[in-house]
Amino acid sequence: MEVTQPDRPAETSVHFVENGAELTVLEVRRAGRSPVIARLHRALFALGIVVASYQLRALGGGTMERIVIQRRDGGGVRGELSALARAAVLPIALSDSED
């Protein structure tokens, strides 16, 4: 599933990668903006989700962050936890704030 800002679709997009019913990867592409990993990490950790792997790639005029996630106990992010993770990620990733 991919989500973009309707008024600026080329600037920011969020892609959720699933393995069956399990949310496994978040990909955030931002044009000309600093990475959002610090803010995402805090929000995910509050839900009991940890970052298992992180990659940042520079793209022409922007960045792409690939974040592999799992539960603190090593389990998969499924069901209600998957929905909560998506709800926490979207406003942060699509925000114009760069703190």
CA–CA gap between residue 40 and residue 46 (Å, rounded): 10
With beta carbons less than 8 A apart as the criterion, state whether 47 and 82 touch: no
CA–CA gap between residue 90 and residue 28 (Å, rounded): 10
pLDDT digit string, tens, across residues 51-79: 999 999 998 889 999 999 999 999 999 99
pLDDT of residue 11: 83
Quote the pTM value.
0.84
pLDDT digit string, tens, across residues 7-55: 544 588 999 999 999 999 999 999 877 899 999 999 999 999 999 999 9
Q: Note the Cα 74 to chain centre separation in Å.
A: 18
* Architecture in CATH for domain 2-93: 2-Layer Sandwich (3.30)
Say whether pLDDT at 98 is over 80. Answer: no
The secondary structure element, H or E, covering residue 64 is strand 62-71
Q: Which tokens belong to 85?
A: 């993770």
